[in-house]
Amino acid sequence: MKERKAIVVGAGLVGSLLTILLAKRGYQVAVYEKRPDMRAAGFVGGRSINLALSDRGWKALQLAGIAEDIKAISIPMSGRMMHDINGKHTPQPYGKEGQAIYSVSRGELNLKLLDLADQFPNVSLNFDQGSTGFDLLNNEVQLENETVSAPLIFGTDGAFSAVRSSMQRLPRFNYSQYYLQDGYKELHIPPGPGGTHQLEKNALHIWPRGKFMLIALPNEDGSFTCTLFLPFEGKESFEQLQTPEDILAFFKKFFPDTVPLMPDLVQVFQENPTSSLVTVRCSPWHHENKALLLGDAAHAIVPFYGQGMNSGFEDCTILYELLETFGDDWDRIMPLFSNSRPLDSNAIADLALRNFIEMRDLVGDPQFLLRKKIEAWLQDEFPKAFLPLYSMVTFSHLPYSLAWQEGQAQDELFEKILAIPGVNQNWKTEAVKTVFQEWMQERERNERIYAKPSEL
Ligand SMILES: Cc1cc2nc3c(=O)[nH]c(=O)nc-3n(C[C@H](O)[C@H](O)[C@H](O)COP(=O)(O)OP(=O)(O)OC[C@H]3O[C@@H](n4cnc5c(N)ncnc54)[C@H](O)[C@@H]3O)c2cc1C
């Protein structure tokens, strides 16, 4: 049995949650984080950047004992609110009544996780201590001014992980990174009079425009954090938006209803960076029984399913369950986790890439909206047999790889349903039910084999 001592590199969302869970199991945990302590650096009061938290994330927060605290500072979003170019709004629920994803401030969440980690006497938090690498032979983490070691090292240092970079030098370590042609920029809708929300508060707002889109998530203070996703180059692109006139003309043309809501649009646009969107895949995630990657360090994905953090939190839940099942036997746990989990992270990586098309393009498409209505109806009619793909990913704990397969099967089902004559006038019909039942029977016979998620 290994000595219960661990080093966690990176105290972001996943690293701080993992620290709490290891501390709960009695590990002595030393955390090394590159940035200063956000609690001392006066994060609170800064501009909010928010994330959508859903069931997989909540489960991990419950395990850490912090779910209620986070719920108190999060805003339920029960559906999408689509804004067309004429300013018309169309609501589209995410799931059944009572289901929602939650907008939560990234900074507040990280801060609360750090505070909780700090309460454990067996945790030491070290800030301004970035790792420059990891010595695989001696299990030593190199910091800028010293070297530290422990029998267990966890790399939770994000998409550009230093721990992973060291593991990349190992023979048979697979690695790929893929950048979208699109980038993103954060913008801001300030609160209305008296701290009110200027748009519907309990929704995730989307302005889908084909090759690009704007989204907005609510903050507690009445503001919204907006994100513009746009190609870097091309006809409508970041490279075309250089002057204040370009920026304003672009927003007036494509997002006219947002212009009066963002008085400082041009200034914020010019000040905020344009960032890139990367998918990282690698395997194995472990090195012997000594080191393990989790969160974005192991699997960075694009944000279009709102699952990056949620899947990183799910890594922590699964690891914790393995610790309980195998009594902290790392010889078994490391390879088990590292051999099974990438199938699911690859599936959510693929689903997230696919959801970009859905969000920017399809959410404004009448056929897509019809499919969503039929999905909801089928779920009511056949609650035990049908769960829409979005609900599987967001409101369940089914492995992502299963959701990936079901998604392909559901695409085939809807190709057939949407081809039924007159279905767009009336979809609550026996014809639709019959197609569904035949599809179910085929699935029960297990006749079809679906494509696996991409590996690298
Ligand atoms: C625009 C955008 C929107 C998103 N929206 C959502 C969403 O709605 N829902 C969702 O679930 N996910 C979302 N995500 C994804 C989510 O942000 C990430 O999956 C999540 O932050 C991963 O957490 P992490 O702790 O693994 O990595 P990070 O959050 O990147 O944390 C890594 C930590 O390691 C530290 N670090 C880095 N290098 C070193 C080093 N060498 N030494 C020591 N420390 C180091 C960093 O300072 C940081 O604190 C979004 C991502 C983007 C880009």
The pLDDT of residue 444: 83
pTM of the model: 0.96
CA of 407 to the centre of ligand 1 (A): 27
3-state per-residue secondary structure call for 91-136 = EEECCCCCCCEEEEEHHHHHHHHHHHHHCCCCEEEECCCCEEEEEC
CA of 278 to the centre of ligand 1 (A): 12
Test site for ligand 1: of 43, 51, 294, most ligand atoms within 8 A of the Cβ: 51
Spatial separation of the C-alpha atoms in residues 385 and 53, rounded to whole Å? 26
Domain 5-74+104-177+278-355 matching CATH 3.50.50.60: the answer reads yes
Q: For residue 154, give the nearest of 283, 313, 19, 56 by alpha carbon.
A: 19
Write the residue with the smallest CA distance to atom 41 of ligand 1: 131
Q: In a structure prediction context, what are the per-residue pLDDT tens digits for the chain, which is 456 residues long?
A: 678 999 999 999 999 999 999 999 999 999 999 999 988 876 544 556 899 999 999 999 999 999 999 999 999 999 999 999 999 998 999 998 899 999 999 999 999 999 999 999 999 999 999 999 899 889 999 998 899 999 999 999 999 999 999 999 999 999 999 999 999 999 999 999 999 999 999 999 999 999 999 999 999 999 999 999 999 999 999 999 999 999 999 999 999 999 999 999 999 999 999 999 999 999 999 999 999 999 999 999 999 999 999 999 999 999 999 999 999 999 999 999 999 999 999 999 999 999 998 888 877 788 988 999 999 999 999 999 999 999 999 999 999 999 999 999 999 999 999 999 999 999 999 999 999 999 999 888 876 778 888 887
431-440 contacts: CB < 8 A, separation 24 or more?
432/374, 432/378, 433/381, 436/378, 436/382, 436/386, 439/409, 439/412, 439/413, 440/382, 440/385
The pLDDT of residue 45: 45
The pLDDT of residue 48: 65
The pLDDT of residue 168: 95
Q: Which atom of ligand 1 is nearest to the CA of 132?
A: 41
Write the residue with the smallest CA distance to atom 51 of ligand 1: 303
Write the residue with the smallest CA distance to atom 52 of ligand 1: 303
CA of 205 to the centre of ligand 1 (A): 23
Domain range list for the chain: 5-74+104-177+278-355, 179-276, 365-445
